[in-house]
């Protein structure tokens, strides 16, 4: 039940979607730039449907083309999300089920684990996903309302919560965070040379800026920031090397996917554990969700109850 920061996983999914959309638009523009002997289609949409939103050479991409591409690739998913939110809202209204501000704050606190501060969490969500604080709160409210509705008839006694905590100690042990610097080079010889220069007193940050292949960190002196000990997005050899170092020490080269890494442990700290009440409520909620039907099945039940249907065949599964 330990929370793991999944922001980069979400970013990757969104990036793939944007690449698909970009590829589609480019393909459309190339196809439509070729001469065509077919009759011109009738103009559709409002007065702004032909407004250009992008340009490739002399070829303009209109807002109508963009809308069609978005509808084709993401319309089914987005329409499904709209239906799901609405049936959840209707069920909440009928049953008098609501989510209080304290519940939202507690969930936001859980989501912020792994970030240095609340401000960094919201800044990351805004810069990486384009989500405002209000939009995040609305999503959290919808998620919690769904979970509360799905588990409304499930009661988890205190004894079951305590038993889970006692029998799963690894999930609740004190965690350590590491502030790691790295230099990535392509060959073992290059890595040994960098290691030798560091041993002579060369500045790690300067060498990272000048030599490291990692574009995400070289401009910041190789700084990965604060990393959890089980972060799935950091190369395992880098994490393992850092765990063996004392603060200020530099590792010998270790093999990674890009070549070889030299690792420096800038700092380490114990990650604050949540208070007991916060921990217990998280466990209680997770245990209730385990006993509840899958949320996907529950939403389908709500769609049936509230007679939600998709009228346009192209948006049906």
The model's confidence at residue 272, banded by pLDDT at 50, 70 and 90, is confident
pLDDT of 47 reads 53
Go through the domains of the chain in sequence order and give each one's CATH number: 176-270 (3.10.50.40)
Q: Give the residue with greater pLDDT, 28 vs 67.
A: 67
Better-predicted residue by pLDDT, 242 or 231: 242
Residue 173, pLDDT above cutoff 50: yes
Give the pLDDT of residue 46: 55
CA distance linking residue 67 with residue 49, whole number of Å = 9
Under the banding of pLDDT at 50, 70 and 90, the label for residue 275 is confident
Least confident of 63-77, 113-127, 143-157, 252-266: 113-127
Residue-wise pLDDT for 61-73, tens only, equals 999 998 999 888 8
Closest CA to 262 of 198, 188, 172, 183: 183
Helix axes 276-291, 133-150, angle to 10 degrees: 60
Q: Smallest Cα–Cα separation from 212: which of 266, 261, 154?
A: 261
Largest separation between any pair of C-alpha atoms in the chain: 76
Kindly indicate the confidence band of residue 271, based on its pLDDT and cuts at 50, 70 and 90: confident
Query: Residue 205 pLDDT more than 80?
Result: yes
Q: pTM of the prediction? A: 0.61
Per-residue pLDDT, averaged over 276-301, amounts to 93
pLDDT of residue 21: 43
Taking residue 140's Cβ as centre, other Cβ atoms within 10 Å add up to 19
Express each pLDDT in 136-159 by its tens digit: 999 999 999 999 999 999 999 999
* DSSP state, residue 129: I
Q: Decide: residue 280, CB within 10 A, 0-12 exposed, 13-18 middle, 19+ buried.
A: middle
Q: How confident is the model at residue 37 (pLDDT cuts 50, 70, 90)?
A: very low
Query: Residue 207's pLDDT is what?
Result: 97
Q: What angle do CA 304, 104, 152 make, to 5 degrees?
A: 40
- Structure tokens that stand for 207 in this block: 């060498």
Q: What is the pLDDT of residue 28?
A: 46
Cα distance between residue 14 and residue 77, in whole Å: 13
Q: What is the pLDDT of residues 86-97, one digit of tens each?
A: 999 999 999 999
Share above pLDDT 70 across residues of the chain, in percent, rounded to a whole number? 85
Q: Residue 290 corresponds to which tokens in the numbers above?
A: 């385990």
**Mean pLDDT, range 108-122, rounded to an integer:** 83
204 — pLDDT class (breaks 50, 70, 90): very high
pLDDT higher than 70, residue 280: yes
pLDDT above 70 (res 31): no
Whose CA is closest to 81, among 294, 296, 312?
Answer: 296
Q: Give the residue-averaged pLDDT of 129-138.
A: 93
């Amino acid at each position: 039940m330990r929370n793991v920061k999944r922001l980069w996983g979400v970013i990757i999914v969104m990036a793939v979607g944007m690449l698909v959309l970009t590829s589609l638009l480019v393909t459309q523009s190339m196809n439509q730039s070729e001469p065509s002997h077919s009759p011109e289609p009738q103009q559709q949409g409002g007065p702004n449907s032909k407004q250009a939103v992008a340009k490739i050479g002399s070829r303009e991409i209109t807002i109508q083309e963009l809308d069609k591409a978005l509808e084709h690739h993401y319309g089914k998913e987005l329409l499904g999300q709209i239906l799901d939110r609405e049936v959840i809202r209707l069920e909440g209204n009928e049953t008098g089920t609501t989510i209080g501000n304290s519940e939202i704050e507690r969930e936001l606190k859980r989501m912020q684990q792994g970030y240095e501060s609340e401000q960094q969490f919201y800044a990351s969500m805004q810069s990486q996903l384009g989500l405002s604080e209000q939009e995040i709160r609305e999503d959290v409210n919808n998620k919690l309302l769904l979970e509360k509705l799905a588990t409304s008839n499930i009661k988890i006694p205190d004894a079951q919560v305590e038993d889970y905590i006692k029998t799963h100690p690894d999930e609740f042990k004190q965690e350590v965070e590491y502030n790691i610097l790295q230099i990535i080079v392509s060959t073992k010889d290059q890595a040994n040379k960098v290691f030798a220069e560091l041993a002579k007193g060369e500045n790690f940050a300067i060498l990272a800026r000048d030599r490291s292949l990692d574009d995400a960190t070289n401009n910041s002196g190789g700084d990965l920031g604060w990393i959890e000990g089980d972060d799935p997005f950091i190369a395992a050899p880098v994490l393992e090397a850092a765990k063996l170092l004392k603060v200020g020490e530099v590792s010998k080269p270790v093999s990674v996917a890009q070549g070889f890494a030299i690792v420096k442990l800038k700092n380490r700290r114990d990650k604050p554990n949540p208070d007991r009440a916060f921990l217990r409520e998280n466990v209680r909620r997770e245990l209730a969700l385990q006993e509840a039907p899958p949320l996907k099945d529950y939403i389908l039940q709500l769609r049936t109850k509230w007679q939600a249907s998709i009228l346009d065949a192209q948006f049906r599964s």
